[in-house]
Chains A and B, each alone.
Chain A
């Protein structure tokens, strides 16, 4: 009887704090997700930018999950139209040739505070394995829809993806912050 009470209490606690609901499929909500980046300029400051169009599907299970995320390269936005044009050209992303940046997970495991994710990142036509920890996994019930959110920071070397122009003026390392919300299907 005492055990049942504890169990009931634990379930109430889970419901209040919004811990992840496992074994569900989610669709990425572009409105409440963001992929931002910063790149060093002349070694003295950072230029910030973002991608405005994200999409994807993912599932979270007790054993891990599966993530398929896509960023539209053409949606790059640094706040300066001329710079965005240059970033879209073959000097950098070559968005007409490589319209999307995709991530497909190959391994997702539970980790402290979230999920340890490994997978393949394809950018500028080059696919490289990357690993990162997705922090979060809390859920919220919003107007009858269950939502789940994750966030991560990772550092990429753009030269490894074939974008090696202007290294020196612009840093090779780019710090990417990705935060996304999924709506349960």
Chain B
């Protein structure tokens, strides 16, 4: 049975995101201030929806990965995206780089990884993941500007929803629904965005969605049982939309459909594989070959 808190969180997220974007201010107010509705709509609606669903973030905010995701990463990326909209376009990138650099350490803060990893291993993981997030961010920013922007955000919403389902099959039942709530925030924002709106505010909304996707996948892999291959494929899925730039599809409707279908294929595939993996019967437990043991060995155990 679907928990009421989840239904409430989803509904509230949709209403809040739609209300913030649709009621962004008078048409004669400066464009840049109106644009703030997109990052605030996605960031705030997701935060409130997650709070209603899971009761998180919980005090103290730095205690668990979910708390740090909601109380640190989401406000940080929302603030940076909002700031980027108020200034020159390049101004957002140093902030985005900062988010990419701190995202993994923030999520893994205080965990056993900090003790288990050597400085070299930690640098590789933190640096590698920051690099992946940054590359995906640049790609997504370009996609919003070169492909139908609302469709790109809708596609990202679909990937987030798929990541949420995959996470649930990977033994993180309460973390997965956050992906669906984030998907609702993104999809609602995209659907209520008028066609006349330039791509800038949608890049800001997409940035929050991307960081959310990244955080869910990192949390799923490092704190639950999400396999690295599933996480990597889901994170790389938005890149698929670039294929559509090659044949130069002229008809917008066809392009929109192609973006969504292209992204849906790997997402549905991974969700199916994760479901199948969760349903697989367990291999029998290994029986220790007792041929080499004697009662004397047993009596000496623990000494």
Name A residues whose Cβ lies closer than 8 Å to a Cβ of B. 29-32, 80-82, 85-86, 88-91, 94-97, 99, 125, 142-143, 145, 162, 165-166, 181, 183
A contact residues around B111 at 8 Å (CB):
96-97
A90 and B282 contacting across the interface, CB-CB below 8 Å: no
A143 in complex: contacting residue of B58, B112, B299, CB < 8 Å: B299
Contact of B179 with A by CB under 8 A: no
A90 and B175 contacting across the interface, CB-CB below 8 Å: yes
Contact of B88 with A by CB under 8 A: no
Q: Could you write out 26 A-B pairs with CB less than 8 Å apart?
A: A29-B303, A82-B171, A82-B282, A85-B171, A85-B225, A86-B171, A89-B175, A89-B223, A89-B224, A89-B225, A90-B219, A90-B223, A90-B224, A91-B172, A91-B173, A91-B224, A94-B64, A94-B65, A96-B113, A97-B64, A99-B112, A125-B63, A143-B299, A145-B303, A181-B302, A183-B302
B contact residues around A97 at 8 Å (CB):
63-65, 110-112, 223
Given A81-B282, A82-B278, A88-B224, 6 other A-B residues pairs in contact with their CB atoms under 8 A: A31-B302, A90-B66, A91-B224, A97-B63, A142-B299, A181-B302
A183 CA to B300 CA, complexed, in Å:
12
B contact residues around A81 at 8 Å (CB):
282
A85 CA to B222 CA, complexed, in Å:
12
| Residues A90 and B303 in contact in the complex (CB < 8 Å), given A81-B282, A97-B64, A97-B111 | no
B contact residues around A31 at 8 Å (CB):
301-302
A91 and B174 contacting across the interface, CB-CB below 8 Å: yes
A96 and B282 contacting across the interface, CB-CB below 8 Å: no
Specify which of B224, B278, B299, B300 lies most central, judged by the most chain A CB atoms within 10 Å of its CB: B224
Closest to B280 in A: A82
| Residues A89 and B172 in contact in the complex (CB < 8 Å), given A94-B223, A96-B113 | yes
| Residues A96 and B171 in contact in the complex (CB < 8 Å), given A30-B302, A90-B65, A183-B303 | no
The DSSP consensus for interface residues of chain B is: loop
- Report the minimal beta-carbon distance from B303 to chain A, rounded to whole angstroms: 7
How many chain B residues touch A (CB < 8 A): the figure is: 26
- Report the minimal beta-carbon distance from B44 to chain A, rounded to whole angstroms: 24
A125 CA to B111 CA, complexed, in Å:
11
B302 and A90 contacting across the interface, CB-CB below 8 Å: no
Specify which of A31, A95, A145 lies most central, judged by the most chain B CB atoms within 10 Å of its CB: A31
- Report the minimal beta-carbon distance from B204 to chain A, rounded to whole angstroms: 29
B contact residues around A82 at 8 Å (CB):
171, 278, 282
- Report the minimal beta-carbon distance from A125 to chain B, rounded to whole angstroms: 6
Closest to B279 in A: A82
B contact residues around A183 at 8 Å (CB):
302-303
Specify which of A32, A97, A99 lies most central, judged by the most chain B CB atoms within 10 Å of its CB: A97
A89 CA to B278 CA, complexed, in Å:
14
| Residues A96 and B223 in contact in the complex (CB < 8 Å), given A90-B64, A91-B172 | yes
Closest to B172 in A: A89
B contact residues around A143 at 8 Å (CB):
299-300, 303
A contact residues around B171 at 8 Å (CB):
82, 85-86, 88-89, 91
CB under 8 Å from chain A, chain B span 50-88: 58, 63-66
A82 CA to B173 CA, complexed, in Å:
12
- Report the minimal beta-carbon distance from A70 to chain B, rounded to whole angstroms: 14
B contact residues around A181 at 8 Å (CB):
302
A contact residues around B282 at 8 Å (CB):
80-82
A96 and B112 contacting across the interface, CB-CB below 8 Å: yes
A96 CA to B282 CA, complexed, in Å:
23
Closest to A90 in B: B223
A90 CA to B69 CA, complexed, in Å:
13
